[in-house]
Amino acid sequence: MENKTVIVTGGTQGIGKAISNKLLEENYFVVIADITDTDEKLVKNTLFVKCDISKEEEIQNLYSMIISKRKKIDAVVNNAGIIRDNVIWKMPKEDMDKVIDINLKGTWMMCKEAAKIMKEQKYGRIVNISSRAWLGNNAGQSNYTASKAGIVGLTRVLALELGKYNVNVNAIAPGLIDTPLTQNLSENVLKDLINAQPTKKMGKPIDIANAVSFLLSEKSDFITGQIIHIDGGKSIGSTIF
């Protein structure tokens, strides 16, 4: 193969888009799997596949299609996720179901199909995008926190299961990142969040993309089962196992 094949879920905007662009710069063949269509003209070495990761059949079709075209899958970046915030007594069950179905079950199903292929290849890299929210410090995010904490546990178990097959599994937990989501916050709320950062600034999507690039590279060959916080130091003092 001319270049390695990587799947990036939720790769059309925000952090996912930055990850896709970074990996393209590094000569990966990037398969962007997203439920949202993209109007952008796709560049060479890019394939867009519309995929709802809450549906197992769509994920299986995604992997089958890539294998038929590329013969192997070197890496998967599970970035797709949604937020439906509210205090628990006001949160509809549907919002809990939707967040768990996409953020956690979707990531689990993506990892399951990747594991089948990478185990046989005797090589692979999986990076799951969790969130600093997994620490449980954000009121109003019981569903989101549960999903992202689940990703942390999932990552560590898969690292144990797949390590002997030369498959590394790690997670990144972003903090306050400048994305369309944070741009919708009020000026006062955003100011308070930035002031709570030890670095007194927001992160950028490229900060996450750079870490993903490292974890997919051979430079990270002896790193697996780790949860890397990229949050401007906000998690300092929190309990991290």
Render the chain in DSSP notation, one character per residue: --S-EEEEETTTSHHHHHHHHHHHHTT-EEEEEESS---SPPPTTEEEEE--TT-HHHHHHHHHHHHHHHS---EEEE-------B-GGG--HHHHHHHIIIIIIIHHHHHHHHHHHHHHHT-EEEEEE--GGGGS--TTBHHHHHHHHHHHHHHHHHHHHHGGGTEEEEEEEE-SB-SHHHHTS-HHHHHHHHHTSTTSS-B-HHHHHHHHHHHHSGGGTT--S-EEEESTTTTTTS---
pLDDT over 90 (residue 35): yes
pLDDT of 239 > 60? The answer is no
Decide if pLDDT at 118 tops 50.
Answer: yes
202 is written with which tokens?
A: 């927001």
The CATH T-level fold of domain 5-230 is Rossmann fold (3.40.50)
**pLDDT-derived band at 162, boundaries 50, 70, 90:** very high
Q: What is the mean pLDDT of residues 134-163?
A: 94
Provide the whole-model pTM. Answer: 0.93
Q: Is the pLDDT of residue 102 over 50?
A: yes
- Per-residue pLDDT reduced to its tens digit, 207-218: 999 999 999 999
Mean pLDDT of 23-30: 96
Comparing 29-38, 109-118, 153-162, the range with the smallest average pLDDT is: 29-38
pLDDT of residue 1: 40
Average pLDDT in the chain: 93
Q: Starting from the edge strand earliest in sequence, which strands make up the sheet with 227-230, in order? A: 46-50, 29-34, 5-9, 75-78, 124-129, 167-174, 227-230
Task: For the chain, give every domain's residue range.
Answer: 5-230
Tell me how far CA of residue 122 lies from CA of 72, 119, 198, 217, in angstroms: 11, 5, 41, 16
**Mean pLDDT over residues 196-215, rounded?**
94
* Per-residue confidence (pLDDT) for residue 179, from 0 to 100: 86
Whether the per-residue pLDDT at 183 is higher than 90: the answer is no
Is 40 buried (19+), middle (13-18) or exposed (0-12) by CB count in 10 A?
exposed
* pLDDT tens string 125-139: 999 999 988 888 888
Measured CA to CA, the distance from residue 88 to residue 228 in angstroms comes to: 28
123 catalytic per annotation: no
Average pLDDT over residues 18-29: 96
Residue with tokens 């989101």: 144
Give the pair of three-digit tokens for residue 91.
């949160």
Q: Which residue in 28, 63, 123, 144 is the catalytic one?
A: 144
Mean pLDDT is lowest, of 4-8, 91-95, 184-188, for 184-188
